[in-house]
Amino acid sequence: RKEVEQDPGPFNVPEGATVAFNCTYSNSASQSFFWYRQDCRKEPKLLMSVYSSGNEDGRFTAQLNRASQYISLLIRDSKLSDSATYLCVVNILSNYQLIWGAGTKLIIKP
Amino acid sequence: DADVTQTPRNRITKTGKRIMLECSQTKGHDRMYWYRQDPGLGLRLIYYSFDVKDINKGEISDGYSVSRQAQAKFSLSLESAIPNQTALYFCATSDSRAAKNIQYFGAGTRLSVL
């Protein structure tokens, strides 16, 4: 079983719709959680950190469920520019390394 | 100018050749990392360095070596390249003083080994 699992997609979503995807992680010692965004053939860039209480950044909402060991990302009022691959990332503090999911590809259609 | 710079951006080489990928950063971060990315797989850590005198193997270090020439420079070498090392390689940095281990990436080097 992969340490961080994501549905690879692609999710094909019309512009303006709301889309959500989840990520599950296997190590209960995971301490920090992030969503990164990666455009085609570009480097990953931090989208947002994920906090236990849930957090929002504009149209983006991230949630963490420690009991079930999953993280979610919700995108409201999706824009064409949201088309990208979204990477779920988990930090296990004991070894200072980030564990990366393979990503979920999102395609927003006009 | 980019905070994390990788050179070259693209490289095509032949099996058995020695290749060096270079990374430099102006972020003042102490930690640096080398990853490779293959289609359908997450980023996989090759090597990481927490300071100039600290080098650690990552998940997939076989066939690779690194050198941390200065706090700002971290290079990755493929001593004898093989076709299954064809991948997209990323260098990243982070700051040990930060509350969270947020990593910042270079633009990547696309390597093809024929």
Mean pLDDT of B57-63: 94
Tokens of A110: 């006009």
Among the partner residues A41, A98, A102, nearest to B101 by beta-carbon distance:
A98
Is residue A108 predicted with pLDDT exceeding 70?
yes
- Find which of B25, B48, B103, B112 to mutate to test the A interface (most A CBs within 10 Å of its CB): B103
Interface mutation target, options A38, A41, A43, A100, chain B, most CBs of B under 10 Å: A43
pLDDT in tens, A32-66: 899 999 999 899 999 999 988 889 999 999 999 99
Q: Which tokens is B12 given?
A: 């095509």
Distances B58 to B4, B43, B49, B99 between C-alpha atoms, Å: 20, 11, 10, 22
Q: Is the pLDDT of residue B1 over 70?
A: no
Q: Which residue has the tokens 């512009």?
A: A15
How confident is the model at residue A52, as a pLDDT? 85
Percent over 90 (pLDDT), chain B: 88
Confidence of residue B78 (pLDDT cuts 50, 70, 90): very high
Summarize pLDDT for B2-26 with one digit per residue, the tens. 699 999 999 999 999 999 999 999 9
Q: What is the pLDDT of residue A94?
A: 62
Number of H helices, E strands in chain B: 0, 11
Which chain A residue has its CA at the smallest distance from B4's CA? Answer: A43
CB contact under 8 A, A43 and B42: no
More confident residue, B71 or A2: B71
Q: List residues of B whose CB lies inside 8 A of any A CB.
A: 31, 40-45, 48, 50, 58, 88, 90, 100-108, 110
